[in-house]
Chain A
Amino acid sequence: MRQHREDDDLAGGPDPSQLFRSLAGEEPPEDFWAGFWPSVRAGIREAEMRPAWILTRGRALLLGSSAGVMAAAAVLVAAFLVVPVPWAPEPGKTAVVALPASAPPVGETSPPPVLEDLRSASARVYTFHVGEPEDSTDVILIVDESLDI
């Protein structure tokens, strides 16, 4: 049952509620429903047969962004904890890091310029080689636990 309208102040114009109310009575013809229940039943069966660990496309999309971030974070953590970095300087020693100031012109193979000296006693430098061997890029990570961020 409809309630008393508190917002019925659309005086002087056409009443959309009155006009569109007739849409509630519109029923599609019976043949419109042909195949409806079989499709629902097939969907139910498919959902029941799908193992719980297989993500639907929608759930996969939903989780995709956060899962990617989590995976990247996990790789970084693993790199810090597990991967030995033989050339990492001991804490307390000065490390000199070569960083490319800018991409060298194509064809030039000159070594990257020394960009900065690390004079922190606790700084460690990690280099990750990213990409194919013939077209790799170095990602250099400088970790300084004593740095107050």
Chain B
Amino acid sequence: MDERELIRKSQAGDLRAFELLVLERRAQVFRIARQILGDDEEAKDVAQLVFIRLWQSLGRYREGGSFGAYLHRITVNLALDFARRQGIRERAGETDSAGLEEAVAAGGGAGPEMEPGEIQRIFRLLSRRLSPRQKAAFVLREIEGMSTEEVSEILGMSASTVRNHVHAARRILQDGLRRLFPEYSRGEGGGRE
């Protein structure tokens, strides 16, 4: 059964079809929430809320529109809302350069032979300096590989605003990498398109 069929059946109240839809989409929803929140358990909670909200609002989704954008808009909004309520931004505001350096030192820094969770940890540390919108734009555009137009639709902002947010986020992250993780240079990890 393809996704459109699953959506149609879910809209008709078929919970079994919706379960398959959840299975299909939960990993990406979780990933986006995790990059925004920086915490696996919180991201899992938000992912569950996303699918509950999706079930409640599926009637408003019209076939022909991008289901991915619809789902990701719910994800980003709930994750940003969750982060706001948890005071993540407030805590981040207290994290000055010295605090970040301490956190990096406590984690042992990053070596050339990184474990899978290491990049996640670095992103979690450095992305504290991003605004919620910058972080969401960077996660969707640069990590999830969505087009600027898709991100624009999800975040409800113009393409040029998305580009500005991504650009600002890259600058901030690059600055953090250069100062706190100097072992990373442009040449490492393969080239860009």
Contacts of A1-41 to chain B: CB distance below 8 A: 1-3, 5-8, 10-24, 26-28, 32-33, 36-37, 39-41
Among A21, A23, A28, A41, the one with the most B-chain Cβ atoms within 10 Å of its Cβ is A23
Given A14-B174, A40-B48, do A23 and B15 touch, yes or no (CB 8 Å)? no
Among A12, A13, A19, A33, the one with the most B-chain Cβ atoms within 10 Å of its Cβ is A19
Given A13-B177, A14-B177, A28-B30, do A37 and B192 touch, yes or no (CB 8 Å)? no
| Closest chain B CB from A38 CB (angstroms) | 10
Q: Are A14 and B142 in contact (CB under 8 A)?
A: no
Is B96 an interface residue when CB atoms closer than 8 A count as contact?
no
| Closest chain A CB from B84 CB (angstroms) | 12
Binds A, one of B1-9, B68-76, B164-172: B164-172
Q: Are B15 and A8 in contact (CB under 8 A)?
A: no
B-side binding surface: helix, strand, loop or mixed? helix
| Closest chain B CB from A7 CB (angstroms) | 4
Q: Are B185 and A6 in contact (CB under 8 A)?
A: no
- Chain B hits for A18, CB < 8 A: 186, 189-192
Q: Which residue of B lies closest to A24 (CB)?
A: B143
Q: Are A36 and B119 in contact (CB under 8 A)?
A: no
Q: Are B55 and A44 in contact (CB under 8 A)?
A: yes
Q: Are A14 and B119 in contact (CB under 8 A)?
A: no
Q: Are B184 and A14 in contact (CB under 8 A)?
A: yes
Q: Are A14 and B30 in contact (CB under 8 A)?
A: no
Is A47 an interface residue when CB atoms closer than 8 A count as contact?
yes
Q: Are A40 and B56 in contact (CB under 8 A)?
A: no
The 10 sampled A-B contact pairs (Cβ below 8 Å) are A7-B163, A13-B178, A17-B192, A19-B184, A24-B143, A33-B26, A36-B44, A39-B48, A43-B48, A44-B52
